[in-house]
Amino acid sequence: MINILLNGCNGKMGQTITQILKEYPHIKIAAGIDTNAVKFKNDYKVYNEIMDVEETADLVLDFSHPNSINKIIEYCVNKGIALIVATTGLSELHYEALSKASTKIPIFQSANMSYGVNVTVELCKNAAKILGKDFDIEIIEKHHSEKKDAPSGTALMIAQEINSTLHNSLEFIYDRHQKGTRKPNEIGIYSLRGGTIPGEHTIVFAGKDEIIEVKHTAFSRKIFAEGSIKAIEFIVGKKPGYYNMQDLLKEMIISNE
Ligand SMILES: NC(=O)c1ccc[n+]([C@@H]2O[C@H](COP(=O)([O-])OP(=O)(O)OC[C@H]3O[C@@H](n4cnc5c(N)ncnc54)[C@H](O)[C@@H]3O)[C@@H](O)[C@H]2O)c1
Ligand SMILES: O=C(O)C1=N[C@H](C(=O)O)CCC1
């Protein structure tokens, strides 16, 4: 049995995970944490504050807000348990804190828990290696109207991965208003917000007289929850370190061979 603490349990992802975990008897939510005391029919106790949690657990799964990162890092390091961070909108300081903590505990961080998006990243990196010099690359992301951060963590992750294959030569542009003509070393990242869109990312490779688009569409939040379950199974028993979806996929490929 794997026992988890679910940070942000009363949010959209917290509730999606609560529902999906009912189909996985080997993973139990020992307790939830949420600053919003709204009463859902959770079959686990919900705390306002992680430091007050009395239940023991193997790890913390976080789908909340960047304002809780420092506290959950402190909690996991003190307890010597693993941490999975799916929250987006993190700052450089948050990443530094996660990296420091990963010398003591296993940390899994991914702006997108779906397999599909992580395969999309690989496709785009390969395309960028071949087309990067001659094609202009731009990213368009669409999400629901309640999303707090922009651009999405996924769009930033895709841009960073593409940039790393192009020797970090790209300048990130988030807004073209009054910017003038596009420069060849730019990568544009644009956000649309509306309705209940669970998530859509389109990566455009625009060349002379031709265009390639790589697009991933999430039809529901279930894909992020299913990926989180794989991340839970992956991180349990791991040595301290900083892990991500690529590590999980590599392990899956090896076990499938
Ligand atoms: N990595 C992924 O695959 C993935 C997928 C979906 C969403 N997300 C990210 O997960 C986060 C949550 O998304 P959501 O759609 O569930 O948002 P949401 O706003 O519906 O839920 C967030 C929940 O966190 C709670 N919360 C806020 N501050 C908190 C704190 N300090 N401590 C504990 N709880 C706190 C809120 O009360 C709320 O219930 C966002 O950052 C989002 O971008 C990541
Ligand atoms: O609904 C959200 O919020 C999502 N956030 C992640 C992001 O910022 O990339 C993943 C997709 C859904």
CA angle 12, 52, 240 (to 5 degrees): 75
Ligand nearest to the CA of 218: 2
Q: Dihedrals φ, ψ of 196, to 5°?
A: -115, 20
In sign, the C-alpha dihedral spanning 58, 61, 66, 68 is: negative
Q: How far is CA 13 from CA 23, 53, 63, 223, in A?
A: 16, 20, 6, 11
Q: What is the pLDDT along the chain (257 residues), one digit of tens a residue?
A: 999 999 999 999 999 999 999 999 999 999 999 998 776 778 999 999 999 999 999 999 999 999 999 999 999 999 999 999 999 999 999 999 999 999 999 999 999 999 999 999 999 999 999 998 899 999 999 999 999 999 999 999 999 999 999 999 999 999 999 999 999 999 999 999 999 999 999 999 999 999 999 999 999 999 999 999 999 999 999 999 999 999 999 887 777 77
Q: CATH for 2-113+221-256, among 3.20.20.100, 2.130.10.10, 3.40.50.720, 1.20.140.10? A: 3.40.50.720
Which ligand 1 atom sits nearest the alpha carbon of residue 8?
24
Confirm or reject: Cβ of 118 under 6 Å from ligand 2. Answer: no
Q: Where are the beta strands (DSSP E) in 8-129?
A: 27-33, 45-47, 59-62, 82-85, 106-109
The ipTM estimated for the assembled molecules is 0.99
pTM above 0.90, yes or no: yes
Q: Is 26 a catalytic residue?
A: no
Catalytic residue among 143, 179, 238, 250: 143
Q: Report the length, in residues, of the chain.
A: 257
Q: Domain residue spans in the chain?
A: 2-113+221-256, 115-217
- Whether 86 is in the pocket of ligand 1, judged by its Cβ within 6 Å, is yes
Any atom of ligand 2 within 6 Å of the Cβ of 143: yes
Residue 17's Cβ-count burial label (10 Å; 0-12, 13-18, 19+) is: buried
CATH architecture for segment(s) 115-217: 2-Layer Sandwich (3.30)
Q: Answer yes or no: same fold for 2-113+221-256 and 115-217.
A: no
For residues 241 and 99, give the distance between their C-alpha atoms in angstroms, rounded to a whole number. Answer: 8
